[in-house]
Amino acid sequence: LTDLAGKTAIVTGGARGQGAVEVELLATAGASVLICDVLEDEGKALAERLQSDGKSVQFFKLDVTSEDEWVAALATVRAWTGRLDVLVNNAGIINRKIIRDMTVAEWRMVMDVNATGTFIGTKLSAPLMAETGGGSIVNISSNSAFSGHYDPAYTSSKWAIRGLTRTAAMEFADDGIRVNAICPGLIVTDLNRASPHLGPMISMTPAQRAGEADEVAQLVLFLAADGSKFITGEDFVIDGGFTA
Ligand code: NAD
């Protein structure tokens, strides 16, 4: 059984969607989890629900693009448990405009949240992880990062996360920090459950269904825990065979 008792985790974008499921699974495995998200109401409500269930969970309002807010979030972790073992860089946004229609500002916003947010979180969290012998960073990319798609900023940002994952794994191995990426395909969340895009995507998926957030969270848990301690710099596609 995966046991994260005594460990501390940060999940960005943890207030809803896949991040919220990851928060709950890590907390159920015994970790103290700091939910970091721009969505204050949802994040606080999730923290309260899990606390009332006996879990060690707090919310911190963080915009992943803000270096200052990352510094404050990590100070909160230090004051709370004094250690950081797991960072899940899950926060992400999408803009489906093609290059012709996309403004430079729109491109920058997607790259800023998805790629630069992951960079800042990695850069600032690594020293705290290293203080207690290391940890595990799990970056949420996408199976979009294996080919081209008609959402250039999103696809490029998710390729960037794969590149950052490999380089960070090399740089931080000495500190005992592992860095891996998860590349999900279509995952059903409350936001897209009713989307008309689901049907065509599912018909192109060998498994003939969309994935569930819990299936991604189970992989996050595996990569967060010691059972995967020789795995670093790797990316894991979880898409029912779509990319195969
Ligand atoms: P979601 O929109 O439900 O969740 C994203 C979360 O990130 C939200 O809580 C949002 O508030 C938060 N967020 C957005 N900008 C932020 C910022 N600047 N700072 C902090 N938090 C911010 O989406 P989801 O489907 O749960 O996606 C989670 C991750 O999985 C994303 O990185 C997404 O790109 C990736 N992904 C999703 C799918 C899918 O099919 N749902 C597939 C592949 C990859």
Annotate the chain with DSSP letters as a single string.
----TT-EEEEETTTSHHHHHHHHHHHHTT-EEEEEES-HHHHHHHHHHHHHTT--EEEEE--TT-HHHHHHHHHHHHHHTS---EEEE---------TTT--HHHHHHHHIIIIIHHHHHHHHHHHHHHHTT-EEEEEE--GGGGS--S-HHHHHHHHHHHHHHHHHHHHHGGGTEEEEEEEE-SEE-TTTTT-TTHHHHHHTSTTSS-EEHHHHHHHHHHHHSGGGTT--S-EEEESTTS--
Q: Is the CB of 22 under 6 A from ligand 1?
A: no
Q: Which tens digit of pLDDT belongs to each residue from 62-90?
A: 999 999 999 999 999 999 999 999 999 99
- Lowest mean per-residue pLDDT among 91-105, 161-175, 186-200, 217-231: 186-200
ipTM: 0.99
Q: Which atom of ligand 1 is nearest to the CA of 92?
A: 32
Q: Is the CB of 12 under 6 A from ligand 1?
A: yes
150 is catalytic: no
- Of 59, 146, 154, 236, which is the active-site residue? 154
Q: Side chain identity at 58, as an amino acid letter? A: Q
Give the pLDDT of residue 191.
73
Average pLDDT over residues 103-115: 98
Q: Is pLDDT at 178 greater than 80 in this prediction? A: yes
The mean predicted confidence, pLDDT, of the chain is 97
Q: How many CA atoms lie within 13 A of 7 on its CB side?
A: 24
CA–centroid distance, 14 to ligand 1, in Å, is 8
